[in-house]
Amino acid sequence: MIYLIHCNSCVYYVLSAWQAFGQIAYRMNNKWYLNKWVYNNQGNAYIRCFYFTTAVATSTGNNPAPTNVVEYIYMTFSWMMGIRDIVSNANRNREQYRKTVDQVLSECKRLGLSKDTIDRVRDWFVYTWQKQKTLDEKILIEKLPLKLQTDLALSVHYNTLSKVQLFQVFIFFFFVEFFFEFVKFCHTTIKL
């Protein structure tokens, strides 16, 4: 992206030089104007051209209006280049989302989690993507409701914990309640 902006900055500089850096006046509505669209040869040329090109590509607005066909073509091309990058980035994020969901669901199946838990995890991914458009695992797990975090952790670790002599004595429901309170305790301790 930076390389494309660099190339576009060079084109902008050449267009400015071709139009005498805004020193050639043009006539519009029976008035004469200096061209404010082009680089005016004041300040650091590369930085000013790079800034202008970045502003056009990211559509931040407040750019001087083009005054001739060549300038309109340049502006349209730059704007389209920015749109292309935005769409490309959105598609990349969507593909990363699909890949992550597939990996998580296959891992849930590999661990032998219940269909209900897998469906809840899938529903959470869909909901999170619709609301936040992100899938940072640590942030997402922290944003899960505490009950769902507990159920997920319990489903993953139940077989291991049930082999511990201390936990074999507990009734399953008591074990779930104990685990739920333990997760709550860990969250309050970590946040302090």
Summarize pLDDT for 83-105 with one digit per residue, the tens.
777 677 777 878 888 898 899 88
User: Do both 66 and 136 map to the same domain?
Assistant: no
Q: How far is CA 68 from CA 19, 40, 47, 60, 76, in A?
A: 11, 16, 24, 21, 12
Which residue among 20, 55, 88 closes a domain? 88
Confidence of residue 192 (pLDDT cuts 50, 70, 90): very low
Confidence of residue 76 (pLDDT cuts 50, 70, 90): confident
- What type of residue sits at position 172? F
User: Do both 120 and 182 map to the same domain?
Assistant: yes
Q: Which two tokens stand for residue 129?
A: 């993507």
pTM: 0.39
Summarize pLDDT for 104-151 with one digit per residue, the tens.
889 888 888 889 988 998 998 888 788 776 666 666 677 777 777 777
Per DSSP bridges, beta strands 31-34 and 25-28 are: antiparallel
- What type of residue sits at position 26? Y
User: Do both 122 and 44 map to the same domain?
Assistant: no
Q: Tell me: pLDDT of 23 over 60.
A: yes
Query: Are the C-beta atoms of residues 50 and 9 closer than 8 Å to each other?
Result: yes
**Assigned domain for 175 exists:** yes
Residues 6+ apart with CB under 8 A from 9: 46, 49, 50, 52, 53
User: Do both 22 and 80 map to the same domain?
Assistant: yes
Q: How many domains does the chain have?
A: 2
| Segments forming the whole domain that contains residue 29 | 2-88
User: Do both 81 and 121 map to the same domain?
Assistant: no
